[in-house]
């Protein structure tokens, strides 16, 4: 999964947002639905327009939720502000990991404040 995510971020950094997103979500029919892809890709493009080009990224948090679900958070770095990316992966019995959900936002500072 981390290799998939790193390939995604490298693709976004290289300007291949559409291709990178489609590859990342290929295992999830709901996310890879041709009707849904343009909206996701458009939101990523808007984020880059607002905060500037991707200048780097790193793993921030990786949590197991039970034995079949992973919650992974990355930070991406941009000239104006970092973005937080959250990915949820799931593995059904006898199957490979698949991406269930993803989202990104600019509320990094809120997530870094200890409880």
Q: State the chain's mean pLDDT as an integer.
A: 88
Count the Cβ atoms, other than its own, within 10 Å of residue 5. 19
The domain tally of the chain equals 1
| Parent domain of 43 | 2-112
Confidence of residue 70 (pLDDT cuts 50, 70, 90): very high
Quick check: 39 pLDDT over 90?
Answer: no
Lowest mean pLDDT among 34-38, 43-47, 59-63: 34-38
Give the CATH number, domain containing residue 63.
3.10.450.630
pTM more than 0.75: yes
3-state class percentages of the chain: helix first, strand second, coil last, to nearest 5: 35, 30, 35
pLDDT tens for residues 74-110?
999 999 999 999 999 999 898 888 898 899 988 876 6
């Amino acid at each position: 999964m981390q290799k998939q995510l790193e390939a995604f971020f490298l693709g976004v950094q290289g300007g291949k947002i559409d291709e990178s997103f489609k590859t990342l979500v290929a295992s999830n029919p709901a996310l890879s639905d041709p009707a849904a892809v343009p909206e996701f890709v458009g939101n990523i493009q808007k984020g880059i327009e607002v905060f500037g080009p991707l200048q780097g990224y790193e793993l921030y948090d990786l949590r197991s939720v039970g034995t079949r679900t992973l919650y992974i958070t990355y930070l991406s770095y941009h000239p104006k502000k970092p973005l937080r990316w959250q990915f949820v992966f799931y593995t059904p019995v006898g199957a490979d990991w698949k991406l269930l959900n993803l989202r990104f936002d600019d509320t990094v500072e809120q997530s870094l404040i200890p409880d």
